[in-house]
C-alpha cells in the first residue's frame, strides 16, 4: 500500500498544495490509496456475485464453484478491465471505486454528461462481452 502511495506522489498524481502540514497530506494520500484498494476488492466481489446470480437465473456466465476460482475470476476481471479504452476505465473507476455518479464523474473528467454516460454504458457492455469470452474460452 505504501509503495502505491509513494508512486502516486512520484508520478505527480498526488500533489502537495500546502493546505495542511506535509505529514497530514502524506497520511491522507496513504489513506486514500487504502480506500481505493478496498473499493477495488469490493467491486470485484460485487461483479462476481452478479455473475453467480445470473448463472442461477440461467441468463449469464458459466462460473465453476471450485476452490481457487475466485482468484481466477479476479484475474479475468483485471484482464478485461485492462482491455477497455482509457476513458471507459476512468469512468468505471470513478463510478465503482470512488462511488461517484456518472454526472459527478463527468465533472471530474471534464467531459459532458452525455459523453460520460456513453463511455459508462459502452464500458459496461464491453466488460460484459470480454468476461463472457473469458469464461467461454477458459481464460
How many angstroms separate the CA atoms of 51 and 90, rounded?
A: 23
Owner of C-alpha cell 459523453: 115
User: Predicted confidence band at 64 (pLDDT cuts at 50, 70, 90)?
Assistant: very low
How many angstroms separate the CA atoms of 16 and 131, rounded?
A: 39
Q: Is the pTM of this model over 0.85?
A: no
User: pLDDT tens, 30-52?
Assistant: 888 888 888 878 877 777 777 77
**Residue 65: predicted pLDDT:** 46
Residue-range domain boundaries for the chain: 37-137
**Assigned CATH for 37-137:** 1.10.10.10
For residue 14, what is its C-alpha cell?
498526488
User: pLDDT tens, 101-125?
Assistant: 898 888 878 889 999 999 999 999 9
Q: What number is the average pLDDT over the span 49-70?
A: 59
How many angstroms separate the CA atoms of 51 and 36, rounded?
A: 23
DSSP string, 84-128: S-HHHHHHHIIIIIS---HHHHHHHHT--HHHHHHHHHHHHHHHH
Amino acid at each position: 500500500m505504501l509503495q502505491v502511495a509513494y508512486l502516486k506522489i512520484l508520478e505527480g498524481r498526488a500533489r502537495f498544495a500546502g493546505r495542511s502540514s506535509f505529514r497530514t497530506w502524506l497520511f491522507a494520500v496513504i489513506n486514500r490509496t487504502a480506500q481505493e484498494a478496498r473499493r477495488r476488492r469490493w467491486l470485484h466481489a460485487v461483479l462476481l456475485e452478479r455473475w453467480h446470480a445470473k448463472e442461477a437465473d440461467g441468463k449469464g456466465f458459466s462460473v465453476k464453484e471450485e476452490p481457487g476460482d475466485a482468484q481466477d475470476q479476479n484475474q479475468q476481471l483485471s484482464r478485461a478491465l485492462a482491455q477497455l479504452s482509457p476513458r471507459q476505465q476512468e469512468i468505471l473507476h470513478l463510478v465503482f471505486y470512488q462511488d461517484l455518479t456518472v454526472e459527478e464523474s463527468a465533472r471530474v473528467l471534464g467531459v459532458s454528461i452525455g459523453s460520460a454516460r456513453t463511455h459508462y454504458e459502452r464500458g459496461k457492455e464491453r466488460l460484459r462481452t470480454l468476461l463472457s469470452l473469458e469464461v467461454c474460452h477458459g481464460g
